[in-house]
Amino acid sequence: MSSIEFEKFRRNWSEKNSMKRFLRKRLKLSKTLFTKAFETQQNAFYAKGIDE
């Protein structure tokens, strides 16, 4: 493998990895946001039931 081929391989590999890392972080964030929104909605629902 020449140094040019290796450089191409290295660049592709790091781009793939950074994309995976980005997607993983984004997935984790959206799960967290969804969970928080769901909990807030549940709390609001229960609070409404108590008041009436």
Domain carrying residue 9: 1-52
Burial class (CB in 10 A: 0-12, 13-18, 19+), 24: exposed
Long-range residue pairs from 16-23, CB within 8 A, at least 24 positions apart, any chain: none
The token pair at 29 is 């964030």
Q: What is the pLDDT of residue 5?
A: 93
Looking at per-residue pLDDT, the higher value among 48 and 36 belongs to 36
Which residues touch 1 (CB under 8 Å, ≥6 apart)? 9
49 pLDDT tier (thresholds 50, 70, 90)? low
How many independent structural domains does the chain possess? 1
* pLDDT tens track for 25-38: 998 988 888 888 88
Q: What is the pLDDT of residue 42?
A: 80
